[in-house]
Amino acid sequence: MIIWGSGGGLCIAGDAGVRDCPICQSAQRFDFSVSYRYAHIWYVFSWVTRRKYLAICSRCHNGVAITKQAFQASVTRDPIPVMRRRGWLMIPAIVALVLVAGALQERQQGDPALVANYHRAVMQAIQTHWLRPDNTPASPCKVRVTLQRGGYVTGVDVEPDCPYDEAGRRSVVEAVRRADPLPYKGYEQAFHPSMVLTFVSMPDASHP
């Protein structure tokens, strides 16, 4: 099972000097700031999905968008907490761009440890075959896979709420097809003829 979530934050990154504030209609002191969104899995792996650079008026707190270049010219240290940016580096086993969770079926059968090992094996088999298009959003995409004994894939359906575009959807279907037959031997007791896999891409947005 995967616990997936996201959050956001705003970091003040230093003095942006005195600028004209369109709201106050006078010169005010501004602070550089970054607003960001992050995504996490299990609250442990975490990475930044979006950044916005702002100068914030110290009087009215109105934010004025600034370019990344202007921000970086003045701020050298990344203000976003390192754990938010690079939390996922903590566990080196997750090196691929994808994490696929064996999700649980209507009726869970067999020894939970065996089921977990089975899902991990399926996940590893598929993730090595996923060629993730560059623009794949950092959102989960669920794929329903139907199987026969022996691990043979009989159907792959992308769930309607998958946020990926056509190429992204094709890439997850092809990943499953390339991994066919999926692991089976040794996992007979954990086998179920249908499973839902969650693809999660982790774009390297960790650099400002």
Near Zn ion by CB under 5 A: residue from 23, 44, 73, 104: 23
**Strand, helix or coil for residue 170:** helix
Tell me the C-alpha distance between 54 and 68, whole Å. Answer: 9
- Which region among 7-15, 47-55, 60-68, 97-105 touches Zn ion (by CB under 5 A)? 60-68
**What's the CA gap between 139 and 89, in Å, rounded?**
19
For residue 54, the cross-strand partners are 33, 65
Asked if 60 touches Zn ion (CB under 5 A), the answer is: yes
Q: Which stretch binds Zn ion (CB under 5 A): 20-28, 95-103, 112-120, 185-193?
A: 20-28
Q: Which of 3, 24, 104, 131 binds Zn ion (CB under 5 A)?
A: 24
Task: Report how far apart, in Å, the C-alpha atoms of 35 and of each of 20, 21, 185 are.
Answer: 21, 19, 48
Distance CA 200, CA 127 (A): 10
Cβ nearer to Zn ion, comparing 50 with 59: 59
Q: Which is nearer to Zn ion, 1 or 60 (CB)?
A: 60
Is 18 a binder of Zn ion (CB under 5 A)? Answer: no
57 binds Zn ion (CB under 5 A): yes
Among 21, 39, 121, 179, binds Zn ion (CB under 5 A): 21
Q: Which stretch binds Zn ion (CB under 5 A): 15-23, 72-80, 130-138, 181-189?
A: 15-23
The candidate with the shortest Cα–Cα distance to 5, out of 50, 41, 54, 47, is: 41
Q: Which is nearer to Zn ion, 30 or 184 (CB)?
A: 30
In 3D space, the residue among 68, 82, 86 whose CA is nearest the CA of residue 32 turns out to be 68
Contacting positions for Zn ion (CB under 5 A): 21, 23-24, 28, 57, 59-60
